[in-house]
Amino acid sequence: MQSTPLPPGLAPFSLRGKRALITGATRGIGQALAIGLAQAGAQVIVAGRQRAALQEVVQQLNNWGEHPEMLLLDVQDPASIETAFATLAGKPLDILINNAGIERLCPSLEVDETLWDSIVGTNLKGAFFCAQAAARLMVEQGSGSIINLCSLTSEVGVPGATAYGASKSGLAGMTRALASEWATHGIRVNGIGPGYFQTAMTEVFYQDNGWRESMQDKIPLGRFGKLSDLTGAAIFLAGPAAAYITGQILYVDGGYLASI
């Protein structure tokens, strides 16, 4: 089934003819973004470590008829990144969404090197080397859009999330630095900072009714985010509607940061 063309007035938000790679695309935010970009017309490449899970997402994306692909990729392993991106050489890559990430709460006095390296290695180091590999392809075509999934912890401190906050704060800084450096190549680099969204990774928080009620009261729009709330931001930043926007972090948080 082919996706329906956008009306002329919405053409700047169309991704038709664009090829997009999304890391960590087998569940949660990554899967939602893959579906959203496919609905906007993009040919989507879903990347992750588990072949069976990737195949399931590709089957879903086939509903939009844009020839989805899958790519085995472990963002914690620079060699895996290099090998995976080598298979994309010779074809356009217009969009990269660095979504793969992990979060584990741990009191800072108990954080060990293994935990630190796992979180920072995935969320920051992995994102950088994926961005670097994508940019090498984008430089050849003179254009591209890279979107990094940042976090509220890119701006605020959360007890027990020191390693995660360090990785996401670093990701925000990396976004601005790469945007400044790669603009001459026609590559835009932006970030999306999700607020409170219930996913498999964050489910542990939502099991605490007291936390749910307290946190929801702090969100001006009065509710937690839905995954569909993020797809519009990604489509906007990825496509021609945001042609003059780079180095920015768009927080999709129901007004949380504006109210604290």
Catalytic residue numbers? Answer: 164
Q: Identify any residues that bridge with 19 across adjacent strands, giving them in sequence order.
A: 43
Q: 79, 54 in Cβ contact below 8 A?
A: no
Strand intervals (E) in the chain: 19-23, 43-48, 69-72, 95-98, 144-149, 187-194, 249-252
Q: Identify any residues that bridge with 250 across adjacent strands, giving them in sequence order.
A: 192
- Cβ atoms within 10 Å of 80's Cβ, excluding its own: 16
DSSP reduced 3-state for 223: coil
Burial class (CB in 10 A: 0-12, 13-18, 19+), 56: middle
Q: 199, 27 in Cβ contact below 8 A?
A: yes
Structure tokens that stand for 68 in this block: 């989805």
